Amino acid sequence: MASVLKHWREAATLVLVTGRSTSLREGIRFKPVNASVNNNNNINGNNADENALKGDKFEVMLLKRSSKSKFMPSLYVFPGGVASDADFSEKWKDIFHDSNNELVKKTFEYAKRGGIGPPMFSRIRDPEFSLIPSEIAFRICAIRETFEESGVLLARNAADLKTIDTEFMKHGPVKATAFQTSEILESWRKKVYADASEFVTMCQELNIIPDVWSLYEWSNWLTPTGQDKFAKYGRRYDTAFYVACVPDKPDAMEDQGETVHLQWGSPADILTEYMNGNAKIAPPQLYELSRFLNFENIDDLHRFIWQREEHRVNQYLPVRVRCQDAFLFLLPGDDLYPKEPDFEGKQEQPELSETLEELNRKFPNQHRTFLSGESDHIIVGCNIALPGGHVPPVSEPPFSQQVSKL
């Protein structure tokens, strides 16, 4: 198997972003979620300006997982799933090279322009799964899973690629090409959902190619070890997060199998809904949505993801730690993050004798998500500079009136 390892499986997720012509929350400003978060927990770095309104003029797509799902039931997530052997198929090499051999050669090189990536990209695979770069295979996986779960297909006509400028990827960020859902695509969607290998067959018959050029590497999350309410499902995934920007909102619909509700919303609105208790969102999604609060509009975000991809992402393995009044998910760079994290879950989860406030005074450099006191809301905290040219999450998300119940 191409993506199944001893302790986890490899997967890919796509954050699909589209523009928003007008704000639904004109005049609302960023403010602390809770005064105690700002005053006692010392999570003050990299916050948005008090008078700024960001993360509100573009939208992202979220899908609510079925309550019957074995992993993260009833939570809102970005579309995505486990990589299949078919995503690494040698057939993709033929499809790409038949369209424009020189373009494909430069695409494969371009995908690795930031150097060696984290293990899911750089590890040695069996020869049959090494005919296309892992960077391309996981993009194919993200596109396939997005098509299965939402009906949105990011693809280009193969014929159009024969005359395309082979250097176009270096001229600026590439907008995604979304095929609108049709009866033909809907029938294929059901086939691909049942068998991932049907995706390559569909592309061959329709003479299209997954739009790997429009997907940009954003982050890499490895499910933490441990057993608690966030890890009780017993499954772990090493997941590549990609971002793609589409100029117009494509037609989309949940699959009514793995996903039961599809929702578009601005990062600011979604985080507000989370704080209002109207949506359950997993920690990685909360963290990434908080990163998007750094951007004024979709053009700013799109330009950033294109420039940032000159660097590779770092793998994030959250490490769980309990203290007297909080539950922490530590991330690399936090003063409390272990020098040698436990990737296999062999060590017992540490429990510290200090309170969160005491820990923050002793260990001022913080990069984490955490639950404090009796709160059911996970807080994102970061006051350090992140490597790889990346933006940190905004530590004080917007909190306002309810906008649209998820």
The pLDDT score that the predictor gives to residue 68 is: 61
- 259 forms beta bridges with 65
The pLDDT score that the predictor gives to residue 20 is: 67
Cβ atoms 379, 43 nearer than 8 A: yes
159 domain-assigned: yes
C-alpha span between 13 and 76 (Å, rounded): 13
Domain count, the chain: 1
158 domain-assigned: yes
C-alpha span between 316 and 331 (Å, rounded): 6
192 domain-assigned: yes
Cβ atoms 139, 242 nearer than 8 A: yes
197 domain-assigned: yes
112 domain-assigned: yes
CATH of the domain at 217: 3.90.79.10
Rounded to 5°, the CA angle 300-45-379 comes to 90
C-alpha span between 277 and 195 (Å, rounded): 36
pLDDT digits (tens, 9 = 90+) for 362-396: 999 999 998 877 677 888 999 999 998 899 999 76
pLDDT digits (tens, 9 = 90+) for 145-176: 999 999 999 999 988 888 888 888 888 899 99
Task: Tell me the pTM.
Answer: 0.87
Rounded to 5°, the CA angle 257-261-267 comes to 135
* Domain carrying residue 37: 9-315
Write a three-state SS string for the chain: CCCECCCCEEEEEEEEEEECCCCCCCCCCCCCCCHHHHHHCCCCCCCCCCCCCCCCCEEEEEEEECCCCCCCCCCEECCEEECCHHHHCHHHHHHHHHHCHHHHHHHHHHCCCCCCCCHHHHCCCCHHHCCCCHHHHHHHHHHHHHHHHHCCEEEEEHHHHHHCCCCHHHCCCCCCCEECCCHHHHHHHHHHHHCCCHHHHHHHHHCEEECHHHCEEEEEEECCCCCCCCCCCCCCEEEEEEEEEECCCCCCCCCCCCEEEEEEECHHHHHHHHHCCCCCECHHHHHHHHHHCCCCCHHHHHHHHHHHCCCCCCEECCEEEECCCEEEEECCCCCCCCCCCCCCCCCCCCECCCCHHHHHHHCCCCEEEEEECCCCCCEEEECCCCCCCCCCCCCCCCCCCCCCCC
Q: Give pLDDT < 50 ranges for the chain.
A: 21-52, 229-233, 397-405
370 domain-assigned: no
The pLDDT score that the predictor gives to residue 34 is: 29
165 domain-assigned: yes
Backbone φ/ψ region at 267: left (φ over 0), alpha (ψ -120 to 50), beta: alpha
- What's the start-to-end Cα distance of the chain, in Å? 37
337 domain-assigned: no
